[in-house]
Each structure stands twice: as C-alpha cells, then as structure tokens.
Amino acid sequence: MRELYPLIQPYRKDYLQVSQLHRIHFEESGNPQGQPIVLLHGGPGGGCPPFYRQYFHPEKWRLIMFDQRGCGQSTPHAELRENTTWDLVSDIEKLREYLGIKKWVVFGGSWGSTLSLAYSQTHPSRCTGLILRGIFMLRQKELSWFYQEGASYIFPDAWEEYLKPIPIAERGDMIKAYYKRLTSPDLQIQLAAARAWSIWEASTSKLLLDPTLIQQFGDDEFAAAFARIECHYFINQGFFTTENQLLENVHRIRHIPAVIVQGRYDVVCPMVSAWELHQAWPEAEFIVVPDAGHSMSEPGIRTALIEATDKFTSVLK
C-alpha cells in the first residue's frame, strides 16, 4: 500500500473573478516548473481540503486546485445562481488561460469525474491525460439508487436518519423534497436538511464507517454548500442535454491517456457506471479496487491514485 506524500503548503493562493457574481479561490503547489495538473473536487460543493495535495509528487507536479462556485473559500458561499456544469467548465478554461497553461492533466473523483468528463469532452485539445475515480455520470438511475431506493437496503440505519427531515407524504421524491427545504428562506430548515443530506453521504462513503468524516460533513458551513449545491445540480439533471451525454461523447476523448479507478463496493457511485464507461472507452486503463468503497482516502484507492499520478509523470513528457 502506498502512503500519501508529505503535506506541502501552496506557493500561491489567489482568487479569480469568473463572473460578476462569482469569485473562485485557487491555489498552486508543488513544482512551478512541473507538469501541470488540475484537480476537480467532488460534490458538487465539496471544496478542496489540504490533504488532496498529498496524492502528487511535489517535485514533479505543478498542482492546481480550486474551489468550484459557491463552496470552499469561493464566494458567495452556497450560491446557486449562475452555478451549472457549463459555468464550471468555463471556469476551468478561464483558470487555465489565466495561469498561462497550454495543456494539463485532469484529475477528478465522484462529481469530479463527471466534471472531468464534461470538461475534457468540451476541450479535448487542452487535456494531456485523465485520472478518474468513483465514476458518476449523473444519470437518473444513479440518483435514484442513492437518494431514493437502493443504497437504503445496505445502510438502513443511516437511511433512517436521512429520512427524518422529510414528511412521509413527500418521500416519493426525496430529491424534490430536500430541494424544497434546502432552498427554504428559513435558515434553520435549510441547515437541518443540509446536515441530514451530507451525513447520509459521509455514512456510506467508506467500506468501514468513519466517525471523523461524518463529523466533518455535519459541520454547518460545509453541509450548507455541499447539500444545497448537490441537490441543485441533481434536480436539474446535471444541466446535460441528454441523460447519457457523457457516455455518448466518449469518442471525443478516447485518444487521451486515461486511468479509471473504482472501488468494488462503492455504494455512493456504484461500479456499474465505471463499467459502462470502461465498455465505451476500452483504451482507458481500468482499475477495480477489490476492498474499497467510494472514498479516495481508502487504502486501495489511495494507492491506485498515487500510482497513477506517478506513472503519468513519466509517461506524459
């Protein structure tokens, strides 16, 4: 098993105004002369914690991380206006141009894999490689599995807590019921729903329950952005034109070197999505971690991701 690289501090932290309303926070770490790589975090609404830097060799990579609209240190916090997949794709390009980077590797897991696919399919000439984890393509069957019925059979105890904010009469459409509360003018109603939504994901993300992760996801500030922005994207079907858009457009990126890492027992983003992406994209290396769930910090997934980032520094010259 691979251990994380030592935690390093960014050599640059700054903001980029991407619209009249939104300002995104970004940071650069590692080697300013290294190979550029952009990390697209999960959620949407998850932000970039410092330990993400530890997946990349600090002398070989120029790592760019940014908090997507409305989350992390970006402003305004938990904002849903002007916050769509295509706004984020545009932000990635604005950031690339602002930093003077011609091409870069794209690294993303969970929602970050969704955004990585959307970005690379829109701007394939700007991507030298893709490292994807916990594949999520924001299709109805994926949303229904996790938020309506499916994962509930595996985690009935955690599911019971997820149900609590929603009256029985509204439980036929949990995403719609949560959206109503997460956009309520009553902040107490918002926060109660946000904590329940976020804790549900934290409770199911790892093969072995992690109380620390549950505590982090239950934090008011984190939960507000995470739950509101996720639900906003989900009720709008990811702002895609067709449900299978990301699969249908794989032909645009099949020439790009790629690695797909998937936990066998991922309940949040079940392996069927990664398998379907692999079937459509056989050129990409497909790694199934046999003893892992969804989280990138689980030992097998951590090892596969670090091995992938190390491999790309030598392969992509």
* Cα–Cα distance, 175 to 16 (Å, whole number): 32
Catalytic one among 266, 273, 278, 295? Answer: 266
Altogether, the residues listed in the chain come to a count of 317
* The 3-state secondary structure of 221-269, one letter per residue: HHHHHHHHHHHHHHHCHHHCCCCCHHHHCHHHCCCCCEEEEEECCCCCC
Residue (of 216, 50, 38, 41) closest to 111 by Cα position: 41
Strand runs (DSSP E) across the chain, as ranges? 12-17, 23-30, 35-40, 61-66, 104-109, 127-133, 258-263, 285-289
Is 125 among the residues known to form the active site? no
Q: Which residue among 110, 116, 152, 203 is the active-site one?
A: 110
Active site residue 273: no
Q: Which two tokens stand for residue 166?
A: 């929603």
Active site residue 110: yes
Catalytic site positions: 110, 266, 294
